[in-house]
Chain A
Amino acid sequence: MKKYIFIFKSEIMTNFQYILNILTHFIGTFILLFIFLNLWQYIYSDPNKLINGYNMNQMIWYVIVTEVLWTSVGARQLSRKISLDVKSGNIAYNLNKPYNYIGYSLSSHLGSISVRLLIYIILGIIVGYLFLGSFPNLNIINIILVLLSGILAITINILFTISIGLLSFIIEDSSPIYWLYSKLILVLGVIFPIEYFPKVVQPILNYSPIYAMSYGPAKLLIDFTYINFSKIFISQIIYLIIAYSLCMLVYKKGVKNLNVNGG
C-alpha cells in the first residue's frame, strides 16, 4: 500500500506545477454550469416548486456535484493515455516493476486529479453559494460521508475508464467505446437525476453504475439520510469490486497476448 501512496504523492508533486492549467480548465466547466444553472432557474419559475421531487436549490446543487465529479476525473485523457500505452507497447515497461498495473494507474490518476478535484470542490461551493445564497443543510459527519461517497464514485469511474482504455488490447482502438460510455454517464447521470427518467427505466438506473458513480453522492448532498447513505455505499462497494475485476480480467488477458516490437 505504501508504494501506491508514494505514487499518489509523486503525481500530486507533479501536478502542483499545473495550477494555472487547472484554473483555466475550470472556466470551461463553469460555463457549462452557468448554462445549466440558468436553465434550471428558468424552469423553476417558483424556487419552492417541486419537479420530480426536487426544488430548485436541490436541483442546482445536484448538477454542481455531478458536474464536479464528472469533469474533475478527466476520464477522456485517462482512457486515451491507457489506450496509447497499450497500442505503443509502452505498457510493457510497467510489467517488470513490482507493482500491480491497475493499482499503479489508479493511484497515479487519483494523484494527478486530486489538486484539480480540491479546486473544483471549492469553486463549486462558491458558485453554488453565489447562485443560491445558502448551503445544503449538513453536519460535519454528513459532509465527511458525502466526501467519502464522492471519492468512491470517482474511483469507480477511474477504474471503468482504465478498463475501457485496456480494451485496446482486444479491439485496437477503444475510443468509440469511451465515447458511448461518456455520453451515457453525461445524459443519464450528470444532467438529470434518476427521478426525471420514465418509471420503467428508473429501476434499471438504480442498479446501474450511474447510481454509484454520479447520482448517489449528489443525492446524498441534497437529501442526506443514513438509509440513503448505506444504500449508496453498498452499491459503490459492489461496483468498485466489479470495476476492479473487469480491469484485471482485460489486463491479464491482454498481457498474455502482448506484442512488443523489439529494437
Chain B
Amino acid sequence: MAIIEVNKLSKTFKVKLKEKGLKGSLKSIIKPKYKEIKAVKNISFQVEKGEIIAFIGPNGAGKSTTIKMLTGILYPDKGNIKVLDIDPRQERKKLAYEIGTVFGQKEQLWTHLTPYDNFKFFGAIYDIPESRVEKKIKEFTELFEIEEFINTPVRNLSLGQRIRCEIIASLIHEPKVLFLDEPTIGLDPVVKENIRTLIKRMNKEYKTTIFLTSHDVGDIEKLCKRVIIINNGTVVLDDSMENLKYHYLNKKIVEAKMKEKVNLDDEEGITILKDKGYNLKIEVDTKKRSIADAIKLLNPDNIVDINISNIPLEDIISNIYKKDRK
C-alpha cells in the first residue's frame, strides 16, 4: 500500500527582482518586477509503507520544497498529494498527528529546557496521555542512549546529542511517516554512523516509513533501498539502490603502480583518468573492454601493485546531476 502518493505536483515561486544601485531600488518601488521560479515541475512518485527512501538532488533542485508540500507547510500550485490518504492542503492539522519531521538545519527543541521537558512538551502538543509519554520517553532514552544528558538543558548539548533528541521529539507521537531533511548535517563521522544505526533500528522496530533528504552519500548508501533523484524540479531517477549501483557497476576504476612508464591513450572502453608516469588511474567500461584486456594493455609483468574498484556512489550521483544539467 502506498503511504505517500504524489501526482503531477508543481510549485512556482514569485521572486521580486531588483536592479543594481539606488536607481534600481527606486525603480523597484515604483514598478516592481517579479520573476517566476519553477521550483517543482510536474513530479510524480509513490512511497510504500515501511520504506526508507532517499530523496536527493543538488542544492536548489526542489527537494525541500517537495518535503514542505508533503508536510503541509507549502501549498502546491498544481497536482495532488496524499500522505496516509490525507491531503496536506485540506487537513494539515490531522496530518500533523500522523507524521514527524526533523529539519537538520532547524531546531525545534526549546533550548533552555532539558530534553526530558522538551519530550513532555511534544507529548502535550500531540495530545498524548501523560503515562504514554513517560513510557515513550523511557523507551527512547534506552534506544537512543541519552540517559547521560536527558536532564541537561538543550543549549548545553553537542550537535550529535541534540540531533538525537530532535529525532526523539519527532517520534514521541509515534508517527507513521518520518521526514528527515539532512539529519546528519554538520556531524562527525562517528556520530553520523550512530544516527544512521538509530534510524535503521527505528525503521525496523516501529515500521516507520522514512523519507530522507541528504547530501551525504553515506546516509543514502547505508540507509536506503530506493532512491529518487530530483534536479531542476523534475524527477530524473527513481530506482532501487541496487539497480542504481548495478547500472554503473559496469565501470571499474583500475589504479596501477608500474615498474616502467607506460604510454597509454584513451581508446574504446578505456579512459585515462590520471597518468603520473609510474602511477596510472584508468576507467574501464566492462561492457566494451574486459578487465583482462586492460591489464594486458598495461603489461602484467610491468605492474608492481594494482587496485580494481567500483565507481564511488558519490561519483555516480554527481554524474547523474551533471548529465541532467547538460
Contacts and interface: CB of A to CB of B under 8 A. Distances in A.
A97 B73 CA distance: 10
B64 A262 contact: yes
Interface residues of A, number: 22
Contact of B103 (A10, A14, A93): A93
Interface string A231-263: 000000000000000000000000010111011
Interface stretch (B118-126, B143-151, B301-309, B312-320): B118-126
Interface stretch (B89-97, B235-243, B261-269): B89-97
Interface stretch (A1-9, A132-140, A222-230): A1-9
A92 B125 contact: no
A5 to B, nearest CB: 8
Contact of B13 (A6, A98, A256, A259): A259
Given A14-B112, A263-B105, A263-B181, A95 B60 contact: no
A126 B101 CA distance: 49
B84 to A, nearest CB: 13
Contact of A96 (B14, B59, B73, B112): B73
Contacts of A99: 125
B110 A93 contact: no
User: By CB atoms of chain A within 10 A, which of B39, B97, B125 has the most?
Assistant: B125
Given A10-B110, A95-B72, A256-B75, A263 B182 contact: yes
Contact of A263 (B64, B110, B112, B124): B64
B60 A96 contact: no
Interface residues of B, number: 39
Contacts of A93: 73, 103, 106, 108
A98 B73 contact: no
B71 interface: yes
A52 interface: no
B157 interface: no
Given A14-B113, A17-B112, A262-B68, A95 B73 contact: yes
B168 interface: no
A21 to B, nearest CB: 13
Contact of B92 (A14, A90, A95, A262): A95
Given A10-B117, A92-B73, A97-B96, A262 B39 contact: yes
Interface in A152-171: none
B257 to A, nearest CB: 42
Interface of B: 13-15, 39, 59-60, 62-65, 68, 71-75, 92-93, 95-97, 99, 101, 103, 105-106, 108, 110, 112-113, 117, 120-121, 124-127, 181-182
23 contacts: A2-B124, A2-B127, A3-B125, A6-B120, A6-B125, A7-B125, A14-B110, A96-B96, A96-B99, A98-B97, A98-B125, A98-B126, A98-B127, A256-B75, A258-B75, A259-B14, A259-B15, A260-B64, A260-B68, A260-B73, A260-B74, A262-B62, A263-B63
The 6 nearest A-B residue pairs measured at CB: A262-B64, A6-B124, A98-B96, A14-B112, A262-B65, A96-B71
